[in-house]
A and B are shown apart, each in its own frame.
Chain A
Amino acid sequence: TQLLEQSPQFLSIQEGENLTVYCNSSSVFSSLQWYRQEPGEGPVLLVTVVTGGEVKKLKRLTFQFGDARKDSSLHITAAQPGDTGLYLCAGEYGGTSYGKLTFGQGTILTVHP
């Protein structure tokens, strides 16, 4: 059973600060996705990374995929209260595991005004 370790579990910061969330596995991902989930809602896809070393940017969010495709990070610059939520990484293992995602425990981010 693949295990995805996500850290930190909780993050409480002030508006304007930067932060990084990490996602690590002992196994190689065929792809990795980041989701954001608000209370009472389902996860919403932010980004998919596929290639080792890949970097993707979504406004103030920067996603990086490790060269060995075993880890990923999400960096938020100048966090805003609207960024508050649960951030989830999800890995797909193996070429025939489409959509069968293994999720990390999630990082609960709170951005205070």
Chain B
Amino acid sequence: ETGVTQTPRHLVMGMTNKKSLKCEQHLGHNAMYWYKQSAKKPLELMFVYNFKEQTENNSVPSRFSPECPNSSHLFLHLHTLQPEDSALYLCASSQVSAPQAFFGQGTRLTVV
């Protein structure tokens, strides 16, 4: 238990569906992140939120839409995804002033 909880753990969706991934952290951190982990590729940073404000969008396609309503919750809204978007999506949190990131268990997403 790392203090970062992601739901759902597994998700299968069609290319025309709309779904959302949820992340909640209980560590009192003020920064949250979405990472993508694909087979045979390093983890890729997607989005960064500091104090609820998005500070980084790593050229992520608009079919991925993040939302951070407060410092403890982070969502990733998905729509019209492609099969190549299938991956493990990881949420992480940290203190803005500290380098250590704490990860959730991830959502295994399969787009069919």
A→B interface (CB under 8 Å): 4, 30-31, 33, 35, 40-45, 48, 50, 88, 90, 92, 98-106
Contact = CB atoms under 8 A, between A and B. Distances in A.
A70 B104 CA distance: 28
Contacts of A104: 42
Given A100-B45, A100-B48, A103-B42, A45 B101 contact: yes
A99 B96 contact: yes
B50 to A, nearest CB: 8
B70 interface: no
Interface of B: 2, 4, 6, 31, 33, 40-43, 45, 48, 56, 90, 92, 94-106, 108
A103 B43 contact: yes
B99 A33 contact: yes
